[in-house]
Amino acid sequence: MKQIVPSIVALLAISAGGGGAYFLKSGSSSSPAPAHESDGHESDEPAEPKKEKKAKKEKDSHGKSDKHGAADSGEVTYYKFTREFVVPMIEDDRVQSLVILNLNLEVDTSISQELFSKEPVLRDNIMTTLVKLSSGGRTLNSITDVDNYETLRAMILTNLQNEIPNGIHNVLILDMARQDL
């Protein structure tokens, strides 16, 4: 008798969850299709914003191609690295602190697949740049100075553009933290 009540409660919970999932799944898949087909005005409204978006994209791409010198620079997207960059700050042959950077790249959509395949090369390039900057000591020691941010971005961007000449527009520093050891 003690095992019957928990079994019934478990059975009811499972069936209620299954029934709820069935109704949620069937309700979400069938409702968008009739809404677009039933009223002709609803299908016309999204068409106008698409035209406006296309016109804006064309306008933006002309501005970007003139600005960056690329003939057909595509739409801009952001490339996110799989891991953060950890840079050791070495003084007197000893690690004094670690600087952790989270970077993204502003790139053309046309080269995003190339970046995925070249991520190890890009990470090596960026780490080499960061180690060079950390050996100087000043750039990564003072993480609150805006000039250091700009120096960091400029050097990373220049070295990445030596590796991939077209398509990388900017380096974005999302997070930067320093931990003293």
For the chain, which domains are there?
A: 4-68 (no CATH), 76-180 (3.30.479)
> Which residues neighbour 98 within 8 Å (Cβ) at sequence distance 6 or greater?
86, 87, 88, 89, 178, 179, 181
3-state class (DSSP) for residue 58: helix
- 95 C-beta neighbours (distance < 10 Å), count: 10
Report pLDDT digits (tens) over 95-149: 888 888 899 999 988 888 888 888 899 999 999 888 887 776 666 667 777 888 8
pTM: 0.55
Report pLDDT digits (tens) over 150-175: 888 898 999 999 888 888 899 998 88
Q: Give the C-alpha separation, 81 to 74, whole Å.
A: 21
Q: Which amino acid is at 92?
A: D
